[in-house]
Amino acid sequence: MPKTKCSLVGLGGIAQIAHLPLLSKMNDVELVAVCDIEKSKAKSIAQKYNIPQYYSNYDEMLKNSESECMIVTAPTNFHKELSIKAFDYGLHVLVEKPLARYYEEGNDIVEAAKRSGKKLMIGMNNRFRPDFMMQESFISAKELGDIFYIKTGFLKKRSTTENWSVKKESAGGGVFMDLGIVVLDIALWMLKYPKIRSVNAANYYHAFKSVEDSSFVMLRFDNDATVSLEASWSLLREEDLFYCNVYGTEGSSCVNPLKIFKKMHGTLMNVTPLKIENPTNIFKRSYEYELKHFINAIQNNTGIISGGEEALIRLKITDAIYKSAKTGKEVFFK
């Protein structure tokens, strides 16, 4: 089996928890280099996974490694520089979410990908969860009729202590850039990315001064669909909550857990598939499927799920969310 040579830059939590353990076990991937600003960390991780090259200087890695693709798991403020340089060297790029801190920055990355002719994928791993894939397949098949309302949210205590993630200049924002953009993508994916009409948002700064720790958003679309979205690191509740409730003219569905209901002969019936994959670690499985999709797209020159154009739509909406929250007014799109 031919192996795709892969390098990775930014060796923080998600790289060590998900990307590196999974990539190292894939038969069609060869990890050739890693890079981190802390050279001792890069060396230690390279030794752990038998990766031949390690660097603290990104330019040196690009010049000296024979990589075909790059996975960017560095802080968000480095995404533009790292991605564009990788494209200039002719590499395919997978960037962890979010693509960038704001629309203009993301657009520069997408344009660089177009110029290079290489693939750009943004790491929206939850699209690859079996339950979300099943929910989306019912919606795509019009089993639930026309979708008109989605209520979704991600309420979770911060899982990292990395300081860059709570600094606006490095992360672009707070909980919305971390968790909110995840459920925004899921909602837009379920709706097939309709044209946005307006955004109304409220952000709260109870835990941090420069970034929000809670964000509540209402989105309206030209097809009259509505999305209600909530994201928080700090709501005083007993348990984390990650959910997506979808309502259509002929039925409804929810995750998590997965349930699907359809109106049949005047009665609402539970049509949830009995046999759906329910991996014990759905988090790692979603990353495994995401990485396999990226590598397969490179090897077979097939299309990318979660590409640059969708990321730009998310960033345009994200910019409007922060504007609405700051001004206290609804933001309308032309």
Residue 278 is predicted with a pLDDT of 66
Q: Is the pLDDT of residue 1 over 90?
A: no
Q: Answer whether residue 22 shows pLDDT above 70.
A: yes
- 37 burial (CB, 10 Å; 0-12 / 13-18 / 19+) is middle
Average pLDDT over every residue of 1-21: 94
CATH architecture assigned to 127-275+313-332: 2-Layer Sandwich (3.30)
Per-residue pLDDT averaged across 115-141, rounded? 96
Class of the 4-126+287-306 domain?
A: alpha beta
177-193 pLDDT tens trace? 999 999 999 999 999 99
Asked whether the domain spanning 127-275+313-332 has the same topology as the one spanning 4-126+287-306, the reply is no
- Domain residue spans of the chain: 4-126+287-306, 127-275+313-332
Q: Would you say residue 275 has pLDDT above 80?
A: no
Q: Mean per-residue pLDDT for 75-81?
A: 97
pLDDT at 169: 96
Q: Is the dihedral of CA 83, 74, 171, 282 positive or negative?
A: positive
Residue ranges with strand state E in the chain: 4-9, 29-35, 53-55, 69-72, 92-96, 120-123, 147-155, 196-204, 214-221, 226-232, 241-248, 251-255, 259-264, 267-270, 331-332
